[in-house]
Every structure is written in C-alpha cells, then in structure tokens.
C-alpha cells in the first residue's frame, strides 16, 4: 500500500544548510534536486521526473545536468532493467485542475500521464 504524505509540508532546513555551508555557485558548484524517481522493482523499470509549475522552464545548467545524468544511466544500466529516461512534467499553473499539463513539452491529459508513469 502506498504510504501517505505525513506532513503536507516540505522541510527546507537541509536545503538552507547546503546554501549556507557549501561552495558558492560562482565556483562552478551547482546543486539541484530531482523531484521523483519512479521505480518498479518487480518489472525492473525506472523513470526520473522533474516537476515544474506555473509554466517554469528548466534553467540551462539544470537541463544540461539532467541530460548528462540521463545519458550516463542509459550507458550503464543493467541489461535486465528498463530505463524510461528523464522527463519534465510541466503544469501551466499548479495542477490538472487549474490548467494544462505537459510531458516533455507535449500536452497530456491526466489519464495519459497516469499511463506514462505507471511503468
């Protein structure tokens, strides 16, 4: 059974610690989080997902980072696993109920997205 969200809030303490304690981006040190890793251990499938709301775009450095990560995983994933790649889900506003949804810049319905992400 899928575990429920416990708090409904995201704790940003570690994020702030990274900003305060690790090298500045001016040194070339960049930090990004990955929103979701969907994984089916029985089917041996995996997909990486970045979520953007309010039609936000990936920053260029973040796009390059995830493109490289995608390439590296494709080169090295075990032969019996299926890697469905790195994808961006973009909401026009915040969710399905207040605007359009895009999967890699192609508009999708909620049911189409469910199908794509169900592995």
CATH code, domain carrying 80: 3.40.1350
**Angle 6-10-11 from CA coordinates, rounded to 5°:** 105
**Secondary-structure breakdown of the chain: helix, strand, coil percentages, each rounded to the nearest 5:** 35, 25, 40
- The structure's pTM equals 0.86
Count up the domains in the chain and report the number. 1
46: three-class secondary structure by DSSP: strand
Q: For residue 108, is it within any domain?
A: yes
> Which strand (E) or helix (H) includes residue 103?
strand 101-103
Q: For residue 113, is it within any domain?
A: yes
**Angle 8-102-67 from CA coordinates, rounded to 5°:** 90
- 8 A C-beta contact, residue 30 and residue 65: yes
Whole-number Å distance between alpha carbons of 48 and 39 = 9
Tell me the per-residue pLDDT of 77-89, one tens digit each, with 9 for 90 and over.
Answer: 999 999 999 999 9
Q: For residue 5, is it within any domain?
A: no
Tell me the per-residue pLDDT of 10-36, one tens digit each, with 9 for 90 and over.
Answer: 788 998 999 999 999 999 999 999 999
What is the extent of the structural domain holding 96?
Answer: 32-117
């Amino acid at each position: 059974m899928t575990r429920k969200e416990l708090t409904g809030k995201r704790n940003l303490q570690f994020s702030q610690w990274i900003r305060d304690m690790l090298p500045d981006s001016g040194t070339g040190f960049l930090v990004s989080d990955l929103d979701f890793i969907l994984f089916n251990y029985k089917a041996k499938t995996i997909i990486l997902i970045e979520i953007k709301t309010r039609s936000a775009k990936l920053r260029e450095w973040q796009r390059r980072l995830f493109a490289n990560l995608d390439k590296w995983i494709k080169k090295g994933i075990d032969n019996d696993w299926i890697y469905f790649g790195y994808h961006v889900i973009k909401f026009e506003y915040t969710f399905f109920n207040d605007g359009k949804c895009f999967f890699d810049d192609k508009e999708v319905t909620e049911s189409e997205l469910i199908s794509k992400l169900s592995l």
